[in-house]
Chain A
Amino acid sequence: MKRKRFPWLEIVLLIVVLTVVGVLVNNLAVNLIRTGLGLSFEWLWQPAGFALSEHTLPYQPRDSTAWALLVSWLNSLRVIACSIVLATVLGVGAGAARRSLNPLLRQLAALYVGLIRQIPLLLQLLFWYFVAFLGLPSEPMAPIGALISLSNQGVAILGLNLSVEFSAVLVGLSVFTGAAIAEVVRGGLDSVPKGQWEAFRSLGISELLGLKKVVLPQALPAILPALSSQYLNLAKNSTLAIAVGFADLYAVSDTAITQTGRAIEGFLILLLSFLALNLLINGGMQALNRIVVRPAQRT
């Protein structure tokens, strides 16, 4: 219906954008030539020269920087994956508790969510590291038999040794994201009409069974998208691990950049590695979506 006009506005905009990008790139080139740096990725294959506090793959300072970055990427992945599991357990528990029959439990959960969400994550991480984990006695203490042993040297669960830094980041991220997930879960539970709750309660079905069979299948389609964005937030927030000295992707990239002076290249690699992490989480959540939501909608 509408007469197609000549796209003046778009052409002007395109020219403006191209000019700005051109000026920026030109400035960059001038600066790189001025400092004699240029662009090069040679340094990736040079020996890294720094130690990593922890590594899942064998690593030594004489290994290449690229290898150090890969090892740190795996460290990030490890802490993110563990935190996602723990945060989900905490968040689902706290979210369900806010709709529980027990008023004490409801208030406790509300207190947790309200408190955690008003305090910066970085401050919480510092607390977990410097106060909670480094404050442990140097002699290992085992509160639950041989299941778990705690000391300021590290944490051992069922013979699995975790460093203090890893534990602090794990607990800090999980507690913080758990509060956000609790809100997501509560919102999802609230999206299920009240009549559904009353119906299963009046049928004498227990709270847990009713939650599992009646409420959750209806709440999950609302919960899952918000949940995956919380997981992505968790992954992004894991970069704060640098503050407690955990050798994650950002911390090692930062060290590599300081050592080589290759800021632009290092930053590009950091972005690409992070993109890979994001894609991984997105892919996982989409697979979960297919598994969980489809069967629920079919019935």
Chain B
Amino acid sequence: MTGSWTAYRKRLLQARRHPLQTVLSVVILALIAWVVWSTATWLVFGADWSVVSENLPLFAVGAYPENERWRPCLWLGLLCLMTATTLLQPLMSARWRISGLALSWCWLAMLPFGLLLLAGGAGLPTVSSRDWGGLTLTVLLTGFSGLLALPLGVLLALGRRSKLTLPRHLCRFYIDGMRAVPLIAVLFFGQLLLPLFLPVDIEINRVLRAVVAFALFAAAYVAEDVRGGLQAIPSTQLEAAAALGLGPWQIQQLVVLPQALRVAVPALTNQAIGLLQNTSLMAILGLVELLGISRSLLANPAYIGRHLETYIWLAGLYWLVCTAMALMARQLERQGPSASTSAIPS
């Protein structure tokens, strides 16, 4: 700590040799001081956090029936526990460490488990998806649309590089088309127009329609990231695999995709974080996820003019979840099952 501080001061002193840099430093310091001062005075004297503190359950679970609230809360708690476990892995002694593969499977299992908890069934009373909301809905939307978008995106990326003309053009058309339209238009399509394309007697609930729209949209972006990963695989790999007598599907499945996906992980993490942030758009189309619930709260006369407190709270929440996702992705990447495969030839 002290070492970095002396180095820092040294660099500051170096920068001070230019008079312009000194002026710049002073201006920035004054700016920072002003921001810190006004924020601090506002936090102490101006802010009224009742809009947040009185509505914590709403932010967490939305309009979920009160005596069933333990279900989404249990799920959120488990997610927090999993996050902590994942992030603290490197600090734990070897005896308590869980393999990256097992952790990944646990994360994957959280999704159907969360759906079961929220929707009910298997002994629990059912709760209509209309009553889901808050952070729970935000995480659920992100999780399920990401889960659907990944395989779809991989298929699209493979299709786009296919030697066959028709699939190549179809995939290109889909990817480019989807990337050219704004997400809100796709979500609008999912909410209002999708039912028109389905048979009369089939009705899908709004949450599922949103998940489908998000997944269809995100798949196009995932496909481009995966394609970037595929391009990073040298063609000698394909030739070597073919020379060993592997079929085209085996080559993709055993040789190309594991490496390509690994290359694409950082880009895919960004997509996942973007997806989480984009679920806020459903507030415009009437779902009460995290942002939607705050909009309805702010419409309540009791909390009139409490925009800043609400938005700071929301920004903090989104920031926390996004940062946790980014850190975990880096963690899983480092611990991942394929991390050791490069050592096999020796």
Interfacial residues, chain A to chain B (CB-CB below 8 A): 7, 9-10, 13-14, 17, 24, 27-28, 30-32, 34, 101-105, 108, 115, 118-123, 126-127, 130-131, 135, 232, 236-237, 239-240, 242-243, 250, 254, 257, 263-264, 267, 270-271, 274-275, 278
Contacts and interface: CB of A to CB of B under 8 A. Distances in A.
Contact of A250 (B170, B185, B196): B185
B189 A30 contact: no
Which DSSP category, helix, strand, loop or mixed, fits chain A's interface? helix
Interface in B238-265: none
A289 B290 CA distance: 41
Contacts of A34: 200
A271 B177 CA distance: 10
A239 B182 contact: yes
Given A7-B164, A17-B170, A126-B311, A271 B181 contact: yes
Contact of B196 (A27, A239, A243): A27
A28 B192 CA distance: 13
A102 B15 contact: yes
16 contacts: A13-B167, A31-B195, A31-B196, A31-B197, A104-B28, A105-B24, A105-B28, A120-B291, A127-B307, A131-B307, A232-B180, A240-B281, A243-B283, A263-B196, A264-B193, A267-B185
Closest 6 CB pairs of A and B: A120-B277, A236-B182, A239-B182, A120-B280, A130-B307, A118-B322
Contacts of B277: 119-121
A239 B314 CA distance: 22
Contact of A13 (B166, B195, B315): B166
B165 interface: yes
B196 A274 contact: no
A108 B28 contact: yes
Interface string B2-22: 000000100110110010010
Contacts of B167: 10, 13
Nearest to B281: A122
B180 A274 contact: yes
A56 B185 CA distance: 24
A123 B166 contact: no
Contacts of B14: 101
Contacts of A24: 197
A231 to B, nearest CB: 13
Nearest to B29: A104
B180 A123 contact: no
Contacts of B32: 108
Contact of A123 (B11, B308, B318): B318
A243 B193 CA distance: 21
Contacts of A115: 319
Contacts of B11: 103
B183 interface: yes
Contacts of B280: 120, 122-123
Interface in B118-159: none
B213 to A, nearest CB: 13
Interface string B179-206: 0111111001100110111111000000
